[in-house]
């Protein structure tokens, strides 16, 4: 696993979820809100779990987390 790629994808999925939630509060329908939300939430959980397991097993940090 590449932790830097994982973190990048986590950030992209997180932003998609936040954008969808923001659009919903601005008046988008519940159907628009729900479209893809379950997939995004599951993907974010998978990525988070993979990165956690990687780090617990002694893997190196993503590049953005290892800067001095």
Picking from 1-10, 34-43, 56-65, which range would have the lowest pLDDT averaged per residue?
34-43
**Has residue 12 been placed in a domain?**
yes
Tell me what the mean pLDDT of segment 23-31 comes to: 84
Q: Residue 36: pLDDT band by 50, 70, 90 thresholds?
A: confident
pLDDT at 41: 95
**Has residue 66 been placed in a domain?**
no
**Has residue 32 been placed in a domain?**
yes
pLDDT at 6: 98
**Has residue 20 been placed in a domain?**
yes
**Has residue 28 been placed in a domain?**
yes
Residue 11 pLDDT > 70, yes or no? yes
Give me the domain span that covers residue 15: 3-56
Contact 51, 3 (CB under 8 A): yes
**Has residue 39 been placed in a domain?**
yes
**Has residue 34 been placed in a domain?**
yes
Domain count, the chain: 1
The residue among 17, 22, 55, 18 whose CA lies nearest residue 38 is 17
**Has residue 62 been placed in a domain?**
no
pLDDT at 59: 97
């Amino acid at each position: 696993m590449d932790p830097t790629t994982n973190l990048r994808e986590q950030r992209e999925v997180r932003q998609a979820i936040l954008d969808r939630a923001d659009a919903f509060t601005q008046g988008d329908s519940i159907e628009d809100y729900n479209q893809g939300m379950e997939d995004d939430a599951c993907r974010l959980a998978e990525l988070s779990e993979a990165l956690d397991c990687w780090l617990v097993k002694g893997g190196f940090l993503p590049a953005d987390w290892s800067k001095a």
